[in-house]
Structure formats: structure tokens, C-alpha cells
Structure 1
Amino acid sequence: MSFPKSECDVLSALSSARLVVHLAQEKGVVGHNLSYREPLYHVGAILADAALQAGLNYRTVVKVRVDRIVQHFPEAATLSGMFDTIASIGVAEFLRWHHHTKVSRFVCLAELLRNESIDDFHQLRTWLQNPACREKLRAIHGVGPKTVDYLCGLVGLDFIAVDRHIRAFASDAGVTAADYDFLQTVISYAADLLGVSRRHFDASIWTYVSNQKAGPQRRTTLQLPFDGPVAVA
């Protein structure tokens, strides 16, 4: 995560963060979501989640596929086990997804980790804390800063992944800036001011915005992006 470099940038981010805090307090965003998903100790499911999540409905499309991987392919909890599995059944069947773009992204992520000698969850989590990994991930077609931060969140690192939910909430708070790094800093500062983890605040905003879109009749059935065995675009 990159922070503002000048004092003016810091003050601007803090001012915007206070607007976000005000809206979060007004709407009870954090208080309504007291838990979030623990890290998923399954490399195959983590990579599937990261590769599939962009542009898809998380609850109805992504989560069911990630849950299936966890339940049916426990051997794929390690990267080597995952490669053995897909050698047997194929990547498309493993993901239950056949469109080339996301299948290719999944394969590229997996190949990068193998080239980096990563096999299990703990090695992946350690690697993601090395700033040098971001450039390598970003070199994969379709992997932007949000996907990298999202992947960090999946292993339990305290990152904000700026998605359409974050942008919508910030806009409602009166923060109209479009720059990814600036918005990430604003939401991170807001979480700090509220005294909650950034992952918690990210999940809370996701749930709140999703519930607003879903309507009253479905609000009790929506899942947190960091809740249960498997995370949002």
C-alpha cells in the first residue's frame, strides 16, 4: 500500500477519511458486522477466488465454486497438490469455469507461485508481504492493484481492496476521487480512526453496500466477503 507523500496529501486523505467515518457511524456500518472471514488455508481455493472474483457476483458465482474446491479437493490445499489435481481433471473442471480469460489468469497465478517456490499457505502469506511480489503479480494480464490487495486479504493481511463497493461508499460519503491509491489510503485511515482492522472495515462496507443493493427482503441472507470458508469483486 502506498501512502500520500506530501503533507498536503496526508491532510487531504485525513479530511476525506473523516467523511467516511461520519457516514460509517451514521449508518452503523461497523457495529452491524462484528466478524469477518478467517484466512482460508487452502492455496487452490485462494487462487480460484482471486482469479474469478473480478466482475462476478461473489455470493452466487464465486463463493459456490470456491466452497466446492475446499470440500472436494482437500489435496489442493498445497500448490503441488493442486497441480496434481488439475493434471488429472483439468483447470476448467477444477474451477467449474470455462471462459479462457479467467482460466488463463488462474494458471498464470499458479505458475508464478510455483516459479517462486511457494507451496503452502504460510509460504504464500510470507511472500505476499514482500513488496517485490507486487510487480510480479501485476505483470499477469488482468491483475491490477485491487486483485493484488484482494489476494493479500485472502491470506489475512490487513489490506483494503478498492472495489466498486468501496468506491460507492466513498462517493456516498462525499469522497469523489477516483485514484486507487488515494481511496485505499482514505479507507485505511478511516478504519484506523474507527479503531477496527482494515480487513474488518473492508468487509463491513462490502456487506453494507451489498445489502443496500439487495433490498430488505434479502439482507439477512447475504454473506460477508470475509466470512465462512471462502472473498468480492
Structure 2
Amino acid sequence: MLNEYPVAYTINRFSAVLQKHSIETVLDWHDCEKQIRMIRILEFCKAQGIQDTYQLKLYLVNSKSNSDKFKSIRGIGDKTYDYLLKLLGVESVAVDRHVYKFVSDAGIIYKNYKEAKQIVEYAADMMQISRRTLDYSIWLYMSNKKRGVQFELCFD
């Protein structure tokens, strides 16, 4: 996106680009709910004085209260929040259906999102690899397994 709209490197500039070219055009999103969610996130960031990804990362990781406020945005749950953390470079696991299935297939019982996340995070820590790398490797393995393609989990 920044290749096509290089001026959109702050929240205010990104918002201006969206107003000028439309959110559907800039992000190639046709789902109205996702578009509304993005607008809510931008409004939230403006209200908190957040202008770039570095500020957003600091805001989210420095306070549970801040992360709870962010999660109060309609449409932002644990998975979306954790995925955003991964995009911001934070070592996290965003538990999706692939991770749930992988953990279940391993014969490990979990009760909820938090437990499934902790299982994968602990596994990554024990293997001394990035949590983000393990998350992505599980996603890639499970995505291709469904298609009948045999992959090995690789950790570079």
C-alpha cells in the first residue's frame, strides 16, 4: 500500500488518502464491515494521539488497560488483536482455526483461546524459535495439508 500511496505513513495522512481515493480502492476491501472497522481503528488512534505504527505498538504493549481499550473497538477480538501485534513485530500468536486444529491434532486439550495461544507460545519458547515463526509455520502447514500438499514445519 505504501508503494502506491507513499505519503500515507501517518494516521492523519493515511486518513486523507482514504478520503481522497476511498477505502475500498486503497485497501481493495469490498466488505463493508472491514471498512467500518478500519475507520474505527483510525478514529481510535487519532483520539489517543497515535500517529504511526511505532506509537501504536508502544501504546498496546505498555499497558493492559490500553490493550483492553483497543479491544473494545467493535470487531477487534483476541485474534485480530494478536494478529495486529504480529504485524507490529511483537512476538505473539494469533490463534485461528489452523492453530486450534493443529493443537487438537497433537492431542493437547485446551479450554479457550488463551490456553491454545499459551500452548503454542510455550512450544515456540521451548524450541527457542520466534512465536511469530511458529504461528506462521503452523498456518502454512495446516493450510497446505487441507489441499493434500505435504509440508514439513520449517523454522528459519
State TM-score, norm by structure 1: 0.60
Question: Which residue among 101, 105, 110 is the counterpart of 1:172?
Answer: 105
For 1:27-176, what aligned pairs fall within 5 Å after superposition? 69-130=1-62, 131-176=64-109
- Identity rate, percent: 36
- 1-side partners of 2:22 and 2:81: how far apart? 25
Larger RCO (CA within 8 A; separation ≥ 6): 1
Task: Please tell me whether the aligned partners of residues 79 and 94 of structure 2 are also in contact (alpha carbons under 8 angstroms).
Answer: yes
- 2-side partners of 1:78 and 1:194: how far apart? 37
For residue 74 of structure 1, give the secondary structure of its aligned residue in structure 2.
coil
- 1-side partners of 2:106 and 2:141: how far apart? 13
Runs of 4+ in 1 over 3 A off after TM superposition: none
In structure 2, list runs of 5 or more residues that go unmatched.
152-156
CA displacement 1:121-180 (0-9 Å, x = unmatched): 211221121222221122122211111111111010011111111101101101242401
In structure 1, list runs of 5 or more residues that go unmatched.
1-68, 220-233
Task: Please tell me whether the aligned partners of residues 93 and 120 of structure 2 are also in contact (alpha carbons under 8 angstroms).
Answer: yes
For residue 16 of structure 2, give the secondary structure of its aligned residue in structure 1.
helix
Task: Please tell me whether the aligned partners of residues 61 and 67 of structure 2 are also in contact (alpha carbons under 8 angstroms).
Answer: no
Q: Could you tell me how far 1:77 is from its partner in structure 2?
A: 2.1
For residue 33 of structure 2, give the secondary structure of its aligned residue in structure 1.
helix
Q: Could you tell me how far 1:192 is from its partner in structure 2?
A: 1.1
State TM-score, norm by structure 2: 0.88
- 2-side partners of 1:113 and 1:146: how far apart? 19
Aligned length: 150
- 1-side partners of 2:110 and 2:43: how far apart? 35
**Which residue of structure 2 lines up, in the alignment, with residue 209 of structure 1?**
142
The residue type paired with residue 190 of structure 1 is A
- 2-side partners of 1:151 and 1:80: how far apart? 19
- 1-side partners of 2:10 and 2:72: how far apart? 23
- 1-side partners of 2:149 and 2:92: how far apart? 29
Q: Could you tell me how far 1:92 is from its partner in structure 2?
A: 2.0
